[in-house]
Amino acid sequence: ITDGLMTASQWWHPGQGQGLEKFFRFFRQINNGGIIPNAKMEWVNEGPAYALLDAGKGFGYVSAHRAMARAVEKAKVTGIAMVGVRHSNHFGIAGYHALHAAKNGMIGWAFTNAKAEMAPWGSAQVVLGTNPWGIAIPRKDTHAIVLDMALTMSGKGMMMWYEREGKPMPDSWALTPDGKRTTDPTAAMQGPLLPIGEYKGYGLSLITDVLSGVMTGSLFGMKVFQNESNHDVGHVMLAIDPGAFMPREQVDARLEALIDEVKGAPPIDAGKPVVLPGEVEFARMAQRRREGVPLSRKTVEELRGLAARLDVDFPL
């Protein structure tokens, strides 16, 4: 859990709320029964290339990590494996779990359902979640390609950050409750988030909920993630062995040839060269390991309050 939170803190913008800001939700859920520390997690179904883990209301970071580890283990034998998780909680950043597979030489794909914040295309009523994806492709002797994205243009966390900063947000992020576009984060806070790629993002979110919610036995649609004492989130982890298709040396060489073409594309702005998915995050991680992780004043104040409540030292 600590490794996941610190990775998120080093990768992401503080407004995305995936780092230390998660402490407060964890604390509430531990106290209201939504998260059971040291939960007994059980394998429900299992075959050569699939498995289903019942997380027993445990930490999402833990259940997702166990599921991806099992998917990697199976894919080493079968070439590809899919592991589902039911009765879980927020699993942090999807790319963190996908990267676990990449560190073991596998292509990793992690996705989850989430609280309803997106409306079906053509409506203003929220039904589906941001339902994030993380996909990691290993490279030889360097960082993996890591695509980590929600299926909405942005999340409520970033909108709240813009609201605190007194800044207008892009009008492609969300609608007001009556279905109007706006740059005012306050006006849009109770409205639906807009999907990536318009109707295409809505379709991807729907399919993600089918796989991670419907098929695993977790909650889905308008019910998942609503009650802090029972989020009942579903996840899916996929691991793919590139060496199952051709010798690994050939895969590596072909991948680097494609990357050379992509990185060789002339940038529109000479000061902003083409980057691979994840490249910005790995650079940000290196910088924050040197200079420290920025925290909002609100987060620091809340951490101080939590530390005092728990009677632990807090040096900031």
What pTM was estimated for this model as a whole? 0.93
Mean pLDDT to the nearest integer, 90-101: 96
Inter-residue contact 55 to 40 (CB < 8 Å): no
List C-alpha distances in Å: 26 to 40, 68, 263.
18, 22, 40
Percent of the chain beyond pLDDT 70? 98
Mean pLDDT to the nearest integer, 86-115: 97
Residue-by-residue DSSP string for 262-295: HHTSPPSSTTS----TTHHHHHHHHHHHHH----
Mean pLDDT to the nearest integer, 9-20: 75
Q: Return mean pLDDT, the chain.
A: 94
Mean pLDDT to the nearest integer, 93-103: 97
Other CB atoms within 10 Å distance of the CB of residue 53: 26
Check pLDDT > 90 for residue 155: no
Cross-strand bridge partners of residue 116? 129
Any residues with CB less than 8 A from the CB of 195 and at least 6 apart, and which? 118, 121, 151, 152, 153, 201, 202, 204, 205
pLDDT at position 133, please?
97
pLDDT at position 15, please?
61
Question: 240-250: per-residue pLDDT in tens?
Answer: 999 999 999 99
Any residues with CB less than 8 A from the CB of 207 and at least 6 apart, and which? none
Any residues with CB less than 8 A from the CB of 211 and at least 6 apart, and which? 84, 111, 236
20 band by pLDDT with thresholds 50, 70 and 90: confident
pLDDT at position 16, please?
62
Question: 120-149: per-residue pLDDT in tens?
Answer: 999 999 999 999 999 999 999 999 999 999
Question: 196-224: per-residue pLDDT in tens?
Answer: 999 999 999 999 999 999 999 999 999 99
pLDDT at position 299, please?
86
